[in-house]
Amino acid sequence: MTSKHTGFPRLYFATIFSLKGLKAAFQSESAFRQELAAMVILIPIACYVDISLVERLMLIMSLFIVLITELLNSAVEALADRVSSEIHVLIAKAKDIGSAAVFVSLILAAIVWGSILL
């Protein structure tokens, strides 16, 4: 049985595991890299345009929502692939729902950006 860390050691190890997860997503998920590239372009635009602070934060938060959703979808897909490599209706359903979540987050980002900038 592993011992649970508390206090600062827990924060340290949680940070290490989070960074490992980001690295794994960057290395293995092209969609994550594409969305990260879009953020590198769009965040400076959000900072440059003449809008209120709240609008700027909404633009940036919508991009982070897409990235967070992509990470969760990638986790679901990795777990599903670990459980079974054969085609199964429930695994396909889980993967499709994760993909739909990413799609909805992209629609949300487009609506936020379109509403604020247009």
pLDDT exceeds cutoff 60 at 62: yes
Question: Is residue 17 situated within a structural domain?
Answer: no
The confidence score (pLDDT) of residue 3 equals: 63
Question: Is residue 20 situated within a structural domain?
Answer: no
Question: Is residue 21 situated within a structural domain?
Answer: no
Task: Specify the number of domains making up the chain.
Answer: 1
Q: Which domain holds residue 101?
A: 30-117
The pTM of this model reads 0.89
Question: Is residue 10 situated within a structural domain?
Answer: no
Catalytic residues: 70
Q: In Å, what is the CA distance from 80 to each residue of 28, 30, 61? A: 16, 18, 28
36 Cβ partners below 8 Å, 6+ apart?
26, 67
Question: Is residue 76 situated within a structural domain?
Answer: yes
Question: Is residue 19 situated within a structural domain?
Answer: no
Q: Tokens 């777990």 correspond to what residue?
A: 79
Question: Is residue 69 situated within a structural domain?
Answer: yes
Average pLDDT over residues 42-51: 97
Question: Is residue 65 situated within a structural domain?
Answer: yes
Encode pLDDT of 78-92 as tens digits.
999 898 888 889 999
- Residue 36 sits at the vertex; the CA angle it makes with 43 and 53, to the nearest 5 degrees, is 20
pLDDT exceeds cutoff 80 at 43: yes
The confidence score (pLDDT) of residue 56 equals: 98
The confidence score (pLDDT) of residue 86 equals: 84
CA dihedral 8, 11, 13, 18 (to 10 degrees): -160
Q: Give the CATH number for residue 69.
A: 1.10.287.3610
